[in-house]
Each structure stands twice: as structure tokens, then as C-alpha cells.
Amino acid sequence: MSRYLLRFTALGYVAFLLLVPVGFVFYRAFGDGLGHAWDAVTTDRAIHALELTLMLTAIAVPANTIVGIILALMLVRTRFRGRGLLNAVVDLPLALSPVVVGLALYLLYGRGGWLGGLAERGVHVLFAFPGMLLATMFVSLPFVVREVVPVLREIGTEQEQAAETLGARPFQVFRRVTFPAIRWAVAYGVVLTTARCIGEFGAVSIVSGRIEGKTETLPIYVQSQYAFDFDTSGAYAASVVLALIAIATVVLLRVFQPKEEVL
């Protein structure tokens, strides 16, 4: 009996917190008919926002995946002064409010900031793509590192040493032994990174300047629609696009992950 109660509580909790709100968004998006929803997400402005979001994601995810794997290897496989500090710094984006990140970039690259001079030389970071990319990469850095570190710890170094004695050079050891062992951690990290990149609002919102049709990402578009243009069903429809991308990412992982990982 208590087992069912526990199960019911857990499922109810998840439903109440996650499924009901997301379901409601879907429900409302199509409230004014499929046609209206479709029109709302196929305006030039909406399509540009989607493209911009995908572009930011397409650069930030591979960059943070590669750097994330390197950082994880450094943190687990090497000993150096400042390792503890690095470990803490990697978690900073998780702890820091995205608004603070945005503000920090704003101050750094803004007029009077340390790197404020770049704009005078024609390199525009704020209110432009580079600033938004920096903000996106900042907030999505920790995920691959945090997924890979515990797996690297768990697999230990014996397999790598065995490969080394069998004649493998360091990169061959990584490609043939280390990477296959951490690939699902990497994949999961990539999913989380992607979700974070697509969904990022706070930091990007500050550094982008929110210029319609230029520096407006999909989440910013959603908020604008809702808060300033009072087009709620348009906002819902765009939200659905965001939600679908997120769901697709998770589903892709499940599809490619073997049912029974042979370990």
C-alpha cells in the first residue's frame, strides 16, 4: 500500500511540476487553431529568431563539448597547482544567475570596460552575435564536464595503461579506449548543453540588446510576444517550437543509446 502511495506521490509531483505546465502551453498554442499557430511561428521575425538560436547552439555545443572533455581529462587525469580552483570555476555558470553573467559581459565589453575599446576598432561584441555567443557558451560550459568527470573517475586508468603498453600513442589511447568508455556521458552532456543553449534567456537578453529581427533569439522572441506585443497564442506557438526541440534532443539520445549498454 505504502509502495503505491510513494509511487503516486512521485508521479503526481512530476506531473504537477512538469507535465501540466508544458501540456498547458501546447493546449493554448493551438487554442486559436492550428493555422494561427503556424502563422505565428512562420513570420520572418520568428524564423530569424529560430535561426539565430540554432546558430548559437551549433557553435556553442561543439565548442563546449571539446573543451568540456579536455577539462574533464585535466581534472581527473592530471595533478597540477590550481586544480581545485579550476574545478570550482567550472561550476560557476551553474551557481551564477544568468543575469549576472550578462551584466558581467555587458560591463566588460561596454564603454569604459576592459575590452570596451574593441567596439571602437569595429569589433562589435555587445548587441551583436559575438556577445550572444559568449553568453551562451558561458552558461552552457559545465554540463559536459560534469557528466564526464565521474565516468572518467570510475573507469580508472588501467585500460588506458594497457592500451599504452600495447603500443598506442596518447591520441590513439583516447580515440580507441577513453572516448568509447565516456561516450554516453558525453552524449548526455551534449543533450544538456544543447537544451541550455536553446533555452538561455537571461544572459543573452542583456548582451543582445533585443533588436527585433537582428539579435532576437527564440526565447527572447517568446517573451517579447507575450510581454510587449500581447500576442499570447504567438508566444505559446513559439514556446511549443522550443519545447519540441528539447523533446527531440532527449528522444534522439534515447534512440541512439543501446537498450542494454554492454559494460
Partner 1 sequence: MGIAVIDVRKRFGDFAALRDVSVAIPEGSLTALLGPSGSGKSTLLRVIAGLESPDSGQVLIGDEDVTAQPARDRGVGMVFQHYAAFKHMTVYDNVAFGLTIRKRPKAEIAKRVHELLELVQLEGLAKRYPAQLSGGQRQRMALARALAVEPSVLLLDEPFGALDARVRQELRAWLRRLHEEVHVTTIIVTHDQEEAMEVAGQIVVLNEGRVEQVGSPRDLYEQPANEFVMSFVGPVNRLGDTFVRPHDVELLLEPDAGCSEAMVERVVHLGFEVRVELVRDDGHHLTAQLTQEQAQLLELERGQIVYVRPSRETVFSGAARPRDLPQSG
Stretch that binds partner 1, among 99-107, 125-133, 163-171, 213-221 (CB under 8 A): 163-171
| Torsion region of 127: left, alpha or beta (phi above 0 gives left; psi -120 to 50 gives alpha) | left
Residue 78 near partner 1 by CB under 8 A? no
Does 263 bind partner 1 (CB under 8 A)? Our answer is: yes
**Which one, 50 or 163, has the nearer CB to partner 1?**
163
The grid coordinates of residue 21 equal 505546465
Among 165, 171, 227, 230, binds partner 1 (CB under 8 A): 165
C-alpha span between 200 and 29 (Å, rounded): 21
HSE at residue 234, side-chain half, CA atoms within 13 A, is 21
Which lies closer to partner 1 via its Cβ, residue 112 or residue 258?
258
Taking residue 102's Cβ as centre, other Cβ atoms within 10 Å add up to 25
Among positions 32, 39, 164, 231, the unique one binding partner 1 when judged by CB under 8 A: 164
- Give yes or no for residue 257 binding partner 1 (CB under 8 A): no
Cell numbers linked to 201? 534567456
Instruction: Enumerate residues 119-158 that contact partner 1 by CB under 8 A.
Output: 158
Residues 135 and 207: beta-carbon distance below 8 Å:
yes
Among 20, 100, 166, 244, binds partner 1 (CB under 8 A): 166
Cβ 81 to partner 1, closest distance in Å?
15
Could you give the C-alpha distances from 92 to 100, 125, 132, 219, in angstroms and in order? 11, 22, 18, 23
> In sequence order, what E strands does the chain have?
none
Residue choice 162, 244, 247, 251 for contact with partner 1 (CB under 8 A): 162
Binders in 170-229 for partner 1, by CB under 8 A: 172, 176-177, 180-181
Closer residue to partner 1 (CB): 97 or 157:
157
Cα 72 to Cα 116: distance, rounded to the nearest angstrom? 32
Residues that bind partner 1 (CB under 8 A): 158-159, 161-169, 172, 176-177, 180-181, 262-263
